[in-house]
């Protein structure tokens, strides 16, 4: 919960970062919205600031509330329940693999010195937060930007609102 008058503070970012690293479910509630002088663009501008300042958790839904005036408190509960559901969600392996195949066809995986990343198989191996295991030819070839691309594809395909999702990359012969 942030204070709308204070804006997004360093302390807010620190706490948000810890929650993200721990894989917690996240709903951003901007409180004291009643104190803010508003025009038509005020909420969208604040949302944009959230996107910039909390760039590592653009997956988190946000809601503008007033605890004092009891505005949209039901929405906080509704979003919290939604996020709890998404964070516990398991996706079917076949759908997951066809989504990843499509993604690799749309954007070629990175290569280095003539060797290209191959993704053989993906399974979801955990929930809360969702954890995906990728069987690959070489995890060195999996660059951050490409794994971010795949994360976005998984989010587009399945949702996962309000939760970080984690990846592990396994090569043939790795221990379980």
Ligand X SMILES: Nc1nc2c(ncn2[C@@H]2O[C@H](COP(=O)(O)OP(=O)(O)O)[C@@H](O)[C@H]2O)c(=O)[nH]1
The contact set with ligand X (CB under 6 A) reads 3, 31-32, 34-35, 66-68
Give the three-class secondary structure for 21.
Answer: helix
Q: Distance between CA atoms of 52 and 20, rounded to whole angstroms?
A: 15
- Of 1-9, 23-31, 139-147, 157-165, the segment contacting Mg ion by CB under 5 A is 1-9
The residue (of 18 and 35) whose beta carbon lies closer to Mg ion is 35
The residue (of 3 and 174) whose beta carbon lies closer to Mg ion is 3
Span 3-32, contacts to Mg ion by CB under 5 A: 3
* Residue 34, contacted partner among Mg ion, ligand X, none, CB below 5-8 A by kind: ligand X
* Residue 32, contacted partner among ligand X, Mg ion, none, CB below 5-8 A by kind: ligand X
The residue (of 35 and 168) whose beta carbon lies closer to ligand X is 35
86: left (phi over 0), alpha (psi -120 to 50) or beta: alpha
* Residue 127, contacted partner among Mg ion, ligand X, none, CB below 5-8 A by kind: none
Q: Distance between CA atoms of 25 and 23, rounded to whole angstroms?
A: 7
Give least dist CB 7 to ligand X, A: 13
Could you report how far apart the first and last alpha carbons of the chain are, in Å?
39
Is the peptide bond between 129 and the residue preceding it cis, with omega within 30 degrees of 0?
yes
| Binding residue count for Mg ion, defined by CB under 5 A | 1
The residue (of 73 and 84) whose beta carbon lies closer to ligand X is 73
The residue (of 32 and 87) whose beta carbon lies closer to ligand X is 32
Q: Distance between CA atoms of 171 and 139, rounded to whole angstroms?
A: 7
Say which residues have a Cβ less than 8 Å from residue 168's Cβ, sequence separation at least 6: 125, 131, 132, 133, 134
* Interface ranges with Mg ion (CB under 5 A): 3
């Amino acid at each position: 919960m942030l204070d709308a008058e204070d804006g997004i503070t360093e302390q807010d970012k620190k706490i948000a970062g810890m929650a993200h690293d721990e894989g917690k479910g996240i709903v951003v509630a901007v409180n004291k919205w009643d104190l803010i002088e508003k025009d038509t663009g005020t909420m969208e501008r604040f949302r944009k600031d959230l996107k910039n300042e909390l760039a590592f958790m653009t997956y988190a839904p946000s809601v503008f509330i007033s605890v004092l005036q009891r505005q949209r408190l039901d929405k906080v509960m509704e979003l919290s329940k939604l996020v709890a559901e998404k964070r516990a969600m398991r996706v079917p392996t076949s759908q997951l693999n066809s989504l990843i195949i499509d993604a690799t066809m749309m954007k070629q995986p990175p290569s280095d010195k003539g060797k290209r990343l191959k993704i053989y198989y993906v399974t979801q191996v955990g929930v809360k937060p969702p954890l995906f295991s990728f069987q690959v030819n070489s995890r060195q070839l999996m660059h951050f930007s490409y794994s971010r691309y795949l994360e976005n594809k998984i989010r587009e395909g399945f949702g996962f609102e309000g939760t970080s999702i984690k990846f592990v990359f396994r090569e043939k012969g790795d221990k379980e």
